[in-house]
Structure 1
């Protein structure tokens, strides 16, 4: 039995001379993670002069392990093509997945053509880490009674 996404992924492209921006809207999951990977493969094949690829996740509603797998493949593809990958506007659900899987620094650092690495602003990392550290309130053991 297959479950359909409640909010299917839509991709919006903004194209400039040497930069492509892809905005993700919806669920980045099993059903559509390959859509983003395939889009990146096409962009890298069609745009020889591209230097930067920006993936904007501000309108992401959910992500699963298949989405993470697609991001790891995209990192590999962009590194091979010497294109700087920028994963920005990450919602808490994506930051948590990246932190829990130990892939945050790998996917959010920006690699230059020389192989050196620069990190994205650490304020986002600090905010994500703080959110992971927040205690979860315990549920009352008392049953509701009237």
Structure 2
């Protein structure tokens, strides 16, 4: 039996101006590297307290599992507590599908987690109709 090495997620960081941090994600984001990815992104944000926008370029994301999704959710929470807007740019079809299936698309891509995306069903009304 031949095994292949696990394709690690890698990131490339580019500071764009003083207020924007751009991180390009490549490879897999899964149970083997999700925790390290969260620590890495949190450290980069902590090193840039003037940042107001974090742009994660997802074009190079080959695979994401439930732990990878959890990592994105943790990054979103961390970004929100530090008043940084998270942007998931260049989302591949498999990521877009996962976000829609899990109901996390609006939370991860909306400015405050409440924005309804185009084509999303209306939010349920409170109380009886």
* TM-score class, shorter: 0.7 to 0.9
Cα 1:53/1:27, change in 2 over 3 Å: same
Q: Counterpart in 2 of 1:132?
A: none
Q: Counterpart in 1 of 2:38?
A: 37
Q: Counterpart in 2 of 1:68?
A: 69
Cα 1:88/1:5, change in 2 over 3 Å: farther
Which gives a bigger RCO, structure 1 or 2 (Cα 8 Å, sep 6+)? 2
5+ residue gaps, structure 2 = 121-129
**For the residues of structure 2 that align with 1:10 and 1:87, how far apart are their CA atoms?**
16
Q: CA RMSD in A?
A: 2.2
**For the residues of structure 2 that align with 1:39 and 1:4, how far apart are their CA atoms?**
25
Note the 1:1-146 alignment, pairs <5 A: 6-16=6-16, 17-111=18-112, 122=118
Q: CA deviation at 1:35?
A: 2.5
TM-score, length-normalised on structure 2? 0.81
Moved over 3 A (4+): 3-6, 116-120
Conserved 8 A contact 1:24-1:58: yes
**For the residues of structure 1 that align with 2:87 and 2:36, how far apart are their CA atoms?**
18
Conserved 8 A contact 1:19-1:50: yes
Q: CA deviation at 1:108?
A: 0.9
Conserved 8 A contact 2:106-2:114: no
TM-score, length-normalised on structure 1? 0.72
5+ residue gaps, structure 1 = 127-146
Q: How many residues align?
A: 117
Larger radius of gyration, structure 1 or 2?
1
Conserved 8 A contact 1:56-1:89: yes
Q: Counterpart in 1 of 2:127?
A: none
